[in-house]
Amino acid sequence: MPADVKWIPYYDVQGAPKSTTALSPMEHNQAVPSQLDLTDLSAAVKSEYVRIFTERRDDLIAVGFNGLLVTICWFLLPNSIVNWLFTLHGPLAFPYFLEMWMLGDTPATNVAGRDAVRAAQQLHDPAALRLWLRAKHIVMWSFVGPVGAIVAIVIGLVQDRYDDAAAAATVLLFLPLGVLSVAAWIGIWMPYHPQKLLWRWRHRSDWRAALVRWLALVLVPFLIVPAIAVVLLIPSLIIWITAHQGYPPQQMDMTGLWIGTAVSVAVSLTTFAWAPRVAAKIARRRSERLHLYLSNPEHG
């Protein structure tokens, strides 16, 4: 092994030997050590793609199902229900809601609980934790950001709204990076272990961990993800509202449109760079409690 290569421990959950002796918290997770090269961001991203296509395909199923669900709701439900369900209207609002619904689920927030073993092993290494989080955000972004941008471009081409569509596509391409980076704070502060409903029913006597905590953290993404997006878009919204003054509906000053777009991209990228540092601080303050919880999936 080259001397300049740093190896971060990885634990293979599937390969654990059976034992009848008392188990440590990490052994309760049936984890045995192997090695995973996470020396740089590209290696971490590659590792995350491998994980998500092998161990956590349900993350992709959740993202795809939510995208399909919002599409059905937008195009097939009666207008009265659509107007009640969605606060914004117009063709270019659809790709925004498409992204929010794709992101508004536990893969965006429960980053530690859905990858508990590696998360537990990096709690005491802030640099490795930040790298690990950014890799996760990039991989999840790759399934959401380009989709929203492409849909916006297609709508613009169909409706001859090229400038508006290009601006919307640019915003939607980068917005998930910022949203995912902030949403991860929830999963670092209070993760939960993915368990089957049958397991939760069997452990219903421990209702706080098995039911209340789980239900709260499952529902939180649907509320917090859109709120994060709105907060990140506030500077751009102010610019766009100002640029819209004196113009007919669905029109605004082109300079204001692109200044607001550039500000949105800058805010998203800045948040992507900064938010993992906050997550690392949260992890450091709660490291002992998090390690104990993440090391044993029986905590629910």
Straight-line distance from the first to the last Cα atom of the chain, in angstroms, rounded to the nearest whole number: 39
pLDDT at 172: 97
For residue 112, what pLDDT band results from cuts at 50, 70 and 90?
A: confident
Inter-helix orientation angle 57-76/41-54, to 10°: 80
pLDDT at 235: 96
User: How would you label 222-252 residue by residue, b for 16+ Cβ within 10 Å and e otherwise?
Assistant: bebbbebbeebbeebeebbeebbeeeeeeeb
pLDDT at 210: 57
pLDDT at 193: 66
pLDDT at 57: 85
Whether the CB-CB separation of 235 and 117 falls below 8 Å is answered with no
At 31-78, the pLDDT tens digits run 333 344 456 888 889 989 998 898 878 889 989 999 999 999 999 999
pLDDT at 281: 93
| Summary mean pLDDT of the chain | 81
For residue 113, give the 3-state DSSP assignment.
Answer: helix
At 204-263, the pLDDT tens digits run 666 566 566 666 767 788 889 999 999 999 999 999 999 888 777 777 889 999 999 999
pLDDT > 70 in the chain, percent? 78
Domain boundaries, the chain: 55-299
Phi and psi based region of residue 274 (left: phi greater than 0; alpha: psi -120 to 50; beta: remaining): alpha
pLDDT at 249: 73
Q: Which of 22-26, 120-124, 133-137, 252-256 has the lowest mean pLDDT?
A: 22-26
Question: What is the tally of helices (H) and strands (E) in the chain?
Answer: 14, 2
